[in-house]
């Protein structure tokens, strides 16, 4: 097992490939040379206070954002229903 798989197993809701993509998007680069591991190479400050999920690209949410209908608001008997 590689380091990506080990780390991804410790984070609920992410697998190996999305984790590697998110780390790349956050400005990190993986080196398989000694010492192996992730190094921050980004142009801005290292995003230490951000969630890794801020950098995960979701294929399903990208599709939904273009095709998802705007919710309708219906008022009935002074209650607002979002549908």
pLDDT of residue 62: 43
**Bridge partners (DSSP) listed for residue 28:** 40
Model confidence pLDDT, tens digit, residues 29-75: 999 888 888 899 999 999 999 999 999 886 654 444 444 455 555 44
Q: Which long-range contacts (CB under 8 A, 24 or more apart) does 34-42 make?
A: 36/3, 37/3
Integer Cα distance of 22 and 33 in angstroms: 21
**Bridge partners (DSSP) listed for residue 26:** none
- Provide the whole-model pTM: 0.62
């Amino acid at each position: 097992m590689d380091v990506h798989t080990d780390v991804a197993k410790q984070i609920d809701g992410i697998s190996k490939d999305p984790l590697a993509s998110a780390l790349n998007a956050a400005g990190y680069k993986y080196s398989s040379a000694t010492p192996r591991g992730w190094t921050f190479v980004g142009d801005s400050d290292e995003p230490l206070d951000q969630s890794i999920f801020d950098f995960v690209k979701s294929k399903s949410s990208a599709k939904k954002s273009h095709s998802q209908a705007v919710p309708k608001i219906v008022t009935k008997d002074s209650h607002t229903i979002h549908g």
